């Protein structure tokens, strides 16, 4: 092989550039000094000519000439001044700095913290960031791909040409980086990756992208560097008190894409429509919080967001990131908190995503017995890898810190905790001690909750955990450190009870009482969630037995029982208007139903229950403590009647709650109470305002000096059919 002419690139290097396979572009491109002076090389396929100008005054420094390999321009320059390339393209001329004239970008501390899993502002380091380097504006790209042989950034700015912008590997961190001068926000991009052995992978979206193209497009987008100017200081200062275990927390669970849908031809971002319509609705009904099904970018809308690939990007389906920030700010101005469903358990296998990202199992476990969910056809994050733990925690903090989100509900925690989750005996690998617990996931969850508690005062983290794992809401090191846990057992038991015809409920009485055996073992949220109104389960109203009147009465009685029961509250959208059909994520809620007084009555009841729950300390202050609850009647199977007392802190008036779960009115029903005097009826789900028969206790009853149920006094009540009534002791 003949040697290259002085200053000319060796043929193998040149051909590797031309084939988008050169492993170290910085070694051959950009400025290079030698005995004969400085030579500059640029690979610009399709360019007609390239001239080098001094950056300071645009004085010509030399001209680069195209060699035997098309697109490779080389030539000497007169001095080593910072320079520009004047590139003549077909039909256009461009002046720009040379990406290969800039030195390493990320600091050693960034690389070290990332490899330790402790770079908690990861989106400021990796991904695409609009920055200024040496006085030059542009975009710094950085991506973790330690096992790749070559990585290039491709996008609309380089015609998606993998030859144009190969990146620099920062060894041993495994991060590839490149600064593209003069590029700005809005550019679409991906990463072109050559894996081990020269295998070219499908173009990959950026794992740390802060914005993405609207689906079904899959490219990442360079996000604007301008952050939202927040006006929620008062809310943030009071958030810890508003979200404590002693606070009234009533959550409206929403799939934002089907709560409301833009009218035909309406181009307003969905977040702006939600600001206009959803926030007043929440305030009118008295909900303290809204919880959104996952809004992180996800390729398949039918997953409802539970198979995300963009853990740092609000989905482009709903509008740009700044409109989401505007929505959050408006929520806080209305004194409403925001919880997001967040999915660190698994991710989909889409080829443009995290799956085998650099040709290896980088984000996921390699062995399918650890790394693949058969139920969901998804990969499981490798929680034992520091960089993956750090990636996930940084995602959580991104929502909490950048967007002022008030809490995260961690999805599918049970699937993370157990190595044998939904697996036959031969399809899982025990931990190092031979057990079924995923010790790495346990460590991750404890780490996550500790970091959130330290960095985000007042924010909460909620576990959707469906087993009896001990100490989910207990602090580390013994517990997992969550703020609250969904009470899935209560949900399943009570829904099973309410679906039975009333004549059969005597045989299922324990379904309503069993939850009190463990009600104070954790800090619980009582959820009636989206999972209960899909996949043929019917709507909440659709679960209710009997004729039309009984179905509505059953629903009202059940909601009254739920709001009086210990635990915070969560109700999925549509249940508050007694939607007849089960939820369809492709259709808006059936708002015309509110023209029917029965449906409007349920909505009015939910609003009144929220206000009652927030206004009565005894209904919320001791939600997580046994002293806040006392059974009075838990064994009247024959009549399907339940009665209990709710108590608050010292000085609060106790509240008597009575549920009659049959359509038979009961008169003169004696119940023991701890105090003499007047007991005022503060709630009755059989009220005519809600569509009931208006049977009740004429607003109040007076206690008798006749002990009953272990109490010093008693009251004689009229129990309306299929109804919950509440009475408060008055001085």
- Catalytic positions are 411, 464
Q: Which residue has the tokens 């202050």?
A: 621
Cβ atoms of 240 and 457 within 8 Å: the answer is yes
Cβ atoms of 18 and 161 within 8 Å: the answer is no
Listed in sequence order, the residues at least 6 apart from 158 whose beta carbon sits closer than 8 Å to its beta carbon are 164, 165
Which phi and psi angles does 371 have, rounded to 5°?
Answer: -110, 5
CB atoms within 10 A of CB 540: 26
Give the three-class secondary structure for 343. coil
DSSP at 399:
I
Strands 296-297 and 310-314 come out as antiparallel
| Cis before 127 (ω within 30) | no
Give the three-class secondary structure for 306. coil
Residue 720 corresponds to which tokens in the numbers above?
Answer: 């309306």
d(CA 193, CA 147): 10
Tell me the β-bridge partners of 711.
Answer: 708
Cβ atoms of 318 and 271 within 8 Å: the answer is yes
Over the range 13-32, which residues count as b (16 or more CB within 10 Å of their CB) and which as e?
A: bbebbbebbbeebbebbbbb
d(CA 589, CA 587): 7
The full 3-state SS of 501-568, as one line of letters, equals: CHHHHHHHCHHHHHHHHCCCCCCEEEEECHHHHCCCCCCCHHHCCCCHHHHHHHHHHHHHHHHHCCCE
DSSP string, 220-264: EEPPPSPPP----HHHHHHHHHHTSTTS--EEEEE-HHHH--PPT
Cβ atoms of 41 and 74 within 8 Å: the answer is yes
Half-sphere exposure of 627 toward its Cβ, with a 13 Å CA cutoff? 7
Residue 220 corresponds to which tokens in the numbers above?
Answer: 């990442």
d(CA 449, CA 476): 9
- Residue of 594, 603, 503 whose CA lies nearest to 555: 603
Cβ atoms of 251 and 569 within 8 Å: the answer is yes
Q: Which residue has the tokens 């089960």?
A: 582
Residue 329 corresponds to which tokens in the numbers above?
Answer: 């700010």
CB atoms within 10 A of CB 265: 5
Give the three-class secondary structure for 452. helix
Listed in sequence order, the residues at least 6 apart from 340 whose beta carbon sits closer than 8 Å to its beta carbon are 291, 292, 294, 295, 399, 405, 407, 408, 409
């Amino acid at each position: 092989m003949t040697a290259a002419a002085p200053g000319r690139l060796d043929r193998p290097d040149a051909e590797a550039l031309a084939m988008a396979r050169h492993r170290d572009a910085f070694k051959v491109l950009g400025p290079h000094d030698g005995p004969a002076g400085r030579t500059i090389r640029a690979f610009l396929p399709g360019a007609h000519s390239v001239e080098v100008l001094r950056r300071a005054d645009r004085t010509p420094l030399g001209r680069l000439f195209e060699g035997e390999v098309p697109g490779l321009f080389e030539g000497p320059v007169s001095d080593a001044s910072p320079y520009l390339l004047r590139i003549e393209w077909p039909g256009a001329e461009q002046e720009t700095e040379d990406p290969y004239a800039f030195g390493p970008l990320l600091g050693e501390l960034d690389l070290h913290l990332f490899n330790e899993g402790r770079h908690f502002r990861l989106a400021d380091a990796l991904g695409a960031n609009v920055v200024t380097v040496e006085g030059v504006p542009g975009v710094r790209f950085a991506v973790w791909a330690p096992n790749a042989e070559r990585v290039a950034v491709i996008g609309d700015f380089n015609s998606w040409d993998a030859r144009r912008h190969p990146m620099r590997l920062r060894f041993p961190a495994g991060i590839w980086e490149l600064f593209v001068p003069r590029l700005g926000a809005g550019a679409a991009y991906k990463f072109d990756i050559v894996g081990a052995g020269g295998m070219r992978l499908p173009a990959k979206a950026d794992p740390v992208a802060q914005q993405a193209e609207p689906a079904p497009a899959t490219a990442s987008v360079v996000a604007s560097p301008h952050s939202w100017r927040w006006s929620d200081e008062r809310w943030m200062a009071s958030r810890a008190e508003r979200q404590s275990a002693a606070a009234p927390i009533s959550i409206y669970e929403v799939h934002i894409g089907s709560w409301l849908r833009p009218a035909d031809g309406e181009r307003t971002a969905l977040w702006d429509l939600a600001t206009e319509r959803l926030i007043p609705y929440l305030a009118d009904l008295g909900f303290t919080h809204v919880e959104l099904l996952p809004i992180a970018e996800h390729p398949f809308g039918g997953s409802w967001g539970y198979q995300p690939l963009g853990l740092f990007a609000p989905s482009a389906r709903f509008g740009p990131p700044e409109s989401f920030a505007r929505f959050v700010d408006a929520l806080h101005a209305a004194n409403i908190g925001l919880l997001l469903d967040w999915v660190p358990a698994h991710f989909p296998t889409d080829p443009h995503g995290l799956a085998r990202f650099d040709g290896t199992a980088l984000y996921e476990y390699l062995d399918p017995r650890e790394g693949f969910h058969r139920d969901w056809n998804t990969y499981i994050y490798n929680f034992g890898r520091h960089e993956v733990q750090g990636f996930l925690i940084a995602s959580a903090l991104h929502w909490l810190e950048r967007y002022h989100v008030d809490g995260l509900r961690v999805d599918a925690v049970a699937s993370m905790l157990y190595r044998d989750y939904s697996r036959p005996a031969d399809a899982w690998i025990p931990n190092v001690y031979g057990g079924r617990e995923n010790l790495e996931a346990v460590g991750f969850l404890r780490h996550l909750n500790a970091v959130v508690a330290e960095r985000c005062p007042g924010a909460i983290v909620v576990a959707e955990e469906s087993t009896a794992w001990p100490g989910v809401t207990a602090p580390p090191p013994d517990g997992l450190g969550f703020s609250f846990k969904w009470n899935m057992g209560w949900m399943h038991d009570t829904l099973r009870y309410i679906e039975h015809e009333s004549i059969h409920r005597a045989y299922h009485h324990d379904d309503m009482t069993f939850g009190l055996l463990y009600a104070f073992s954790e800090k619980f949220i009582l959820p009636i969630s989206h999972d209960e109104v899909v996949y043929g389960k019917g709507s909440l109203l659709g679960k209710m037995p009997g004729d039309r009147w009984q179905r509505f009465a059953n629903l009202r009685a059940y909601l009254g029982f739920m709001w009086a029961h210990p635990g915070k509250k969560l109700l999925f959208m549509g249940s508050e208007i007694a939607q007849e059909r089960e939820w369809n994520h492709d259709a808006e809620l059936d708002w015309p139903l509110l023209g029917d007084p029965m449906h409007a009555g349920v909505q009015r009841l939910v609003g009144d229950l929220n206000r009652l729950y927030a206004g009565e300390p005894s209904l919320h202050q001791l939600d997580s403590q046994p002293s806040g609850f006392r059974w009075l009647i838990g064994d009247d199977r024959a009549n399907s009647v339940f009665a209990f007392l709710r108590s608050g802190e010292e000085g609060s008036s106790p509240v008597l709650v009575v549920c009659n779960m049959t359509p038979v009115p009961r008169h003169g029903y004696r119940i023991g109470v701890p105090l003499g005097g007047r007991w005022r009826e503060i709630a009755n789900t059989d009220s005519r305002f809600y569509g009931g028969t208006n049977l009740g206790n004429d607003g109040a009853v007076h206690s008798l000096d006749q002990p009953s149920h272990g109490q010093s006094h008693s009251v004689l009540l009229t129990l309306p059919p299929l109804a919950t009534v509440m009475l408060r002791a008055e001085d």
